[in-house]
Amino acid sequence: MNEVIVVESEAGPATFDDFVATRGDALWRSAWLLTGDSHLAEDLVQTTLAKCWPAWKRVSETGSFQAYVRRTLFTTYVAWWRRKWNGERATETLPEQAEPANGRTDTELRRDLVTALATLPRGQRAMVVLRYFEDLTEKQTAELLGCSVGTVKSQTARALRTLRISPLLAQEDR
CATH of the domain at 150: 1.10.10.10
Q: Is the pLDDT of residue 64 over 70?
A: yes
Of the pLDDT bands very low, low, confident and very high (cuts 50, 70, 90), residue 30 is: confident
Measured CA distances, 39 to 31, 33, 121 (Å): 10, 12, 55
Of the pLDDT bands very low, low, confident and very high (cuts 50, 70, 90), residue 5 is: very low
Q: Are 73 and 49 in contact (CB under 8 A)?
A: no
What are the tens digits of pLDDT across the range 140-165? Answer: 999 888 899 999 999 999 999 999 89
**Residue 113 sits in the same domain as residue 72:** no
Range of the domain at 29: 16-82
At residue 30's C-alpha, the angle toward residues 28 and 32, to 5°, is 65
More confident residue, 100 or 124: 124
Q: Is residue 151 part of a domain?
A: yes
pLDDT at 71: 87
pLDDT at 35: 80
Q: Is residue 98 part of a domain?
A: no
**Residue 66 sits in the same domain as residue 116:** no
Q: Is residue 61 part of a domain?
A: yes
**Residue 78 sits in the same domain as residue 108:** no
Closest CA to 34 of 45, 25, 22, 21: 45
Indicate the number of domains in the chain: 2
What are the tens digits of pLDDT across the range 79-111? Answer: 876 666 666 677 778 777 666 656 677 788 888
Q: What is the CA radius of gyration of the chain?
A: 29
Over range 21-32, report the average pLDDT. Answer: 88
Q: Is residue 48 part of a domain?
A: yes
**Residue 78 sits in the same domain as residue 110:** no
**Residue 25 sits in the same domain as residue 76:** yes
Cα 46 to Cα 20: distance, rounded to the nearest angstrom: 10
pLDDT at 138: 93
CA dihedral over 84, 87, 91, 97, signed as positive or negative: positive
**Residue 109 sits in the same domain as residue 59:** no
What is the signed CA dihedral for 108, 114, 120, 121, rounded to 10 degrees?
Answer: -160
Q: Is residue 144 part of a domain?
A: yes
